Structure 1
Amino acid sequence: MANEEEQKNHLFGIKDLGHKTLLQSDALYQYILETSVYPREHECLKEIRKMTAKHPLNIMATPADEGQLLSMLVKLTNSKNALEIGVFTGYSLLSTALALPPDGKENKKGSLDFVFVDADKDNYLNYHKRVLELVKIGGLIGYDNTLWAGSVAAPPDAPLMDYIKPLRGHVMELNKYLAQDSRIEICQLPVGDGITLCRRII
């Protein structure tokens, strides 16, 4: 049985992450992928996922289950105009684009229906202030990595991986800001590395 230090390391991202999920069981996560995600994954998405797995920075990739969620959200909101801020190898972007109707488009201006932000975490608040001017009332914004490998719940002196520690404060600042922003309704989900959905109401 793992000792207390090993458990702490697992919880707060000390070891390399084999996948981006907060589920405590690898077998359960694999079950979800193999039962509900991979059988319905578009061939182009599958190709991107397999190519990205070989990339040295593959930890930055959008996991397949999160891509499936983004696709569902685009369809549920009847989105026609979408924007993505921050693109790695394009998995989340293609997930969104494939879900748009024939007259839909990835758009950078106008009244946006759906925005997904997965970029530099130290600029998340700046993105939020700008995106709220672009998304229409009733439109949806998704912020990725809002649980930041679970580190947002770590004690201040917790040992963290080099790429986690310097940006944790920015992610926590965003989470606090979103929770108090009266212009939006929010829902934070433990999918992937955490995704916070914001529906503009004002």
Structure 2
Amino acid sequence: MSKVNKSYHGHEDPIIDYCTGLTIKLHPLQQELQDATLAHHKMYVMLGAPEVLTIGQNFLKLIQGKNCLDIGTFTGASALAWALAIPDDGKVVTMDVDHSALDEIGRPVIDKCSKTAHKIDFRLGSAIDTLDKLIAEGKSGQFDFAFIDADKENYTNYYDKCMQLLRPGGVILVDNALWSGRVTHENKSPDSAAIDACNRHISADKHSHSFLVNTGDGLHVAFKA
């Protein structure tokens, strides 16, 4: 059986344990927010895998990224990760249709460090509308990095709009790209089918260079050409 799992779920694969054990290096604020989310939110499974967040932080440092798009805020763990990885004059625009988890769990932790918190721009509302507004404001080509972890039916739409907003050489990380292995099932759920369609769309995109890896719940990485 294929093994696809976020590290905080626990598993019996020594190779995954070895890799994540030597990869994950969480800032104390990240650890506190992860622990609070796992302990206090019934939908904690929506939390991004720490190994994926670590990979994203390293990509940001590699490309010297400053301006980030974060689609799917939840408790703010991914937005916090990017804010910690970018310089003081960088900005993370994070978007979600619901800020209840953020207000209850995320903000009390994130606001402990005003230097980091001021780099995060929390947007409440449809991510499609937020991305379209950024495009209408002339922000195309001005972002370095995007992380997609929200409603699956819009994954391909999010990818296309992020590609427009990214500069050449910018990177997109699409989370849940293997959906616990469900994307390979013959009879796919609507969410699984949407993720599969997005994976295939990215793979066929002549405007990016991409690769799909089995880490966390699956991660599709695309660099804008």
TM-based fold match above 0.5: yes
Q: Is structure 2 residue 115 aligned with structure 1 residue 84?
A: no
Q: Among 175, 179, 195, which residue is 2:203 paired with? A: 179
For the residue of structure 2 that corresponds to 1:146, the secondary structure is coil
CA contact (8 A) 1:152 1:172 kept: yes
Q: Give the CA deviation at 1:97.
A: 0.8
For the residue of structure 1 that corresponds to 2:216, the secondary structure is coil
**Counterpart-to-counterpart distance in 1, 2:29 and 2:145:** 22
For the residue of structure 2 that corresponds to 1:53, the secondary structure is helix
Q: Give the CA deviation at 1:87.
A: 1.2
What's the CA shift string for 1:72-102, capped at 9, x where partnerless?
1110110011110111111111111100012
Q: What letter corresponds to residue 194 of structure 2 in structure 1?
A: H
What's the CA shift string for 1:11-65, capped at 9, x where partnerless?
599xxx78578x973444444444442xx31111011110111221111111111
**Counterpart-to-counterpart distance in 2, 1:48 and 1:123:** 27
Structure 1 unmatched ranges of 5 or more = 1-6, 158-164
Ranked by relative contact order (alpha carbons within 8 Å, sequence separation 6 or more), the top structure is 1
Q: Among 97, 105, 109, which residue is 2:83 paired with? A: 97
CA contact (8 A) 1:20 1:193 kept: no
Which residue in 2 is equivalent to 1:106?
92
User: Residues 184, 100 of structure 1: CA spacing in aligned structure 2 closer, same or farther, 3 A cutoff?
Assistant: same
Which stretches of structure 1, 4 residues or longer, exceed 3 Å deviation after superposition? 17-21, 23-36
Q: Is structure 2 residue 90 aligned with structure 1 residue 66?
A: no
Q: Among 119, 143, 147, which residue is 1:116 paired with? A: 147
Which residue in 1 is equivalent to 2:12?
25
CA contact (8 A) 2:37 2:44 kept: yes
**Counterpart-to-counterpart distance in 2, 1:133 and 1:197:** 16
CA contact (8 A) 1:70 1:92 kept: no
Q: Is structure 2 residue 37 aligned with structure 1 residue 52?
A: yes
Q: What letter corresponds to residue 58 of structure 1 in structure 2?
A: Y
CA contact (8 A) 2:7 2:50 kept: no
Identity %: 30
Q: What is the total number of aligned residue pairs between the two structures? A: 179
Which residue in 2 is equivalent to 1:194?
218
Which residue in 2 is equivalent to 1:128?
159
CA-atom RMSD, angstroms? Answer: 2.5
Structure 2 unmatched ranges of 5 or more = 94-130
Q: Is structure 2 residue 153 aligned with structure 1 residue 166?
A: no
Which residue in 2 is equivalent to 1:3?
none
CA contact (8 A) 1:20 1:192 kept: no
**Counterpart-to-counterpart distance in 1, 2:164 and 2:17:** 39
For the residue of structure 2 that corresponds to 1:59, the secondary structure is helix
**Counterpart-to-counterpart distance in 1, 2:8 and 2:185:** 17
Q: Which moved more, 1:125-134 or 1:107-116?
A: 107-116
CA contact (8 A) 2:171 2:224 kept: yes
Q: What is the TM-score when the length of structure 2 is the normalising length?
A: 0.72
Q: Give the CA deviation at 1:155.
A: 3.1
Q: What letter corresponds to residue 135 of structure 1 in structure 2?
A: L
Q: Give the CA deviation at 1:177.
A: 0.9
